[in-house]
Chain A
Amino acid sequence: MSEWEPKIVGFLCNWCSYAGADLAGTSRLEYPPNIRIIRLPCSGRVNPLFILKCLSNGADGVLISGCHIGDCHYSEGNFYARRRFAVLKKLLEYLGIDPRRFQMSWVSASEGDKWARLVTELVEEIKQAGPNKDFVRKND
């Protein structure tokens, strides 16, 4: 088990969370390298299909991160995202997907430290959840 390292996909909005992650980097904060970041204009851009695609292609975890409520560059994008993913989160759990595998956070451009801490915790949680073997592609 010690060799296995989780793969996590992060969907980050350009204006806050991506900048926050960037700040963590330029401040030379250390955090585990398990997250692959996909930059999007806004957390409201994330479609539930993105999450399904990641999980069903073997990602061990997926994170959506956007601006804090009230700070969205497009004013309302994160309000819509919050509703949409509250529903998806509960549905996935109901269908038997470990809730640790799909998470959401608000990280601002100045919260490099929060980003580093968040990813560290996330990696730890997903390590506990173990590798995602739910959707090993059989016939395609």
Chain B
Amino acid sequence: MIDQIKTKAKELLKTKKVDIVIGYKKASDRIGAIPAFIDKEGDIDKLIWDGYCVYNLSNYLKDFPGKKIGIVTKGCDAKSMTVLLQENQLKREDIFIIGIECSGIVDEKRKGGDIAYDERCKGCKPATPPIYDVLIKEEEKKQAPRLEQDPYESVRKLETKSIEEKFKFWQDEFSRCIRCYACRQICPLCYCPRCVAEQTQPAWFSKAVSVEGNFSWNVNRAMHLAGRCIDCGECERACPVGIPLRDINKKIEKDVKELFSYEAGVDTEQKPLFSSFDKNDPEDFIK
């Protein structure tokens, strides 16, 4: 598999089809994988592919304006590219997608230990990228148990709690937020040149670590990803204090599916959720 990736990368660079190939290379701990930005044929051998290739590389596409990019792409990463295309943040002709038929990535917290598929891979539908220019297949099928599990299990569990319990649960979680914005930086779809979190006129919420500031930031982030988040799970992985951000993202994903039959990142022609509407959208909550 990695040989096929390297061959394709070499061909793309050699024929000048792309200026740079974004893929994965070994991290300094010799276990994990980090993004690799390859613009010389000589560096191609650094490329790797294994279960530690967790980063959603589509986050880096915006860093090379005007360049043609070849990019190693898992199923979930291709979905965020689909959203970027919908939102006119990318030109399809500027990227060459080296699609990987992903068989799931490893739970990073168990680095070096047993192979355990990450939560986000369970129930991941297109393990095969919805868009690609070339598809590289996994030789052995060692797929994570997909679809068997209800992807909204933990959301449903939280939904049944009382309003007080929910408030307490989330306040306990949010109280640890240090407002580092790692969740935003790692997200391929949080690309605003100036985030509202940094805005001062008006300052929409406190920048200090505070009850209201932490709450408002987290609600704001979630709302800005509504109908856009493709559940790559990177925000939750990046959060240094372990706030279960996927439980918020998935809640919105579930509601949006139920209310508007809308799913993010499946179709480049689809209009963004909040830039479209249906005349018959539900309004039983409106008086």
Contact = CB atoms under 8 A, between A and B. Distances in A.
The 10 A-B residue pairs whose C-beta atoms are closest, nearest first, are A96-B167, A56-B212, A96-B166, A79-B277, A105-B287, A135-B212, A52-B216, A49-B204, A104-B286, A95-B170
Interface residues of B, number: 47
Nearest to A80: B277
Interface residues of A, number: 40
B286 A82 contact: yes
Contacts of A134: 167, 211
A97 B167 contact: yes
A120 B213 CA distance: 31
A33 to B, nearest CB: 20
A138 interface: yes
Nearest to A58: B212
Interface string B214-252: 011001101100110000000000000000000010011
A93 B158 CA distance: 11
Given A95-B167, A95-B215, A96-B170, A53 B204 contact: yes
Interface in B234-287: 248, 251-252, 255-256, 259-260, 273-275, 277, 279, 281-283, 285-287
Contact of B211 (A53, A69, A76, A136): A136
A106 B210 contact: no
Contacts, number: 124
Contacts of A118: 287
B211 A137 contact: yes
26 contacts: A49-B196, A52-B205, A52-B220, A79-B279, A79-B281, A80-B277, A82-B286, A83-B273, A83-B277, A84-B274, A86-B255, A87-B223, A87-B227, A89-B285, A91-B219, A92-B219, A95-B219, A96-B164, A96-B168, A97-B163, A104-B285, A135-B211, A137-B210, A137-B211, A139-B210, A140-B213
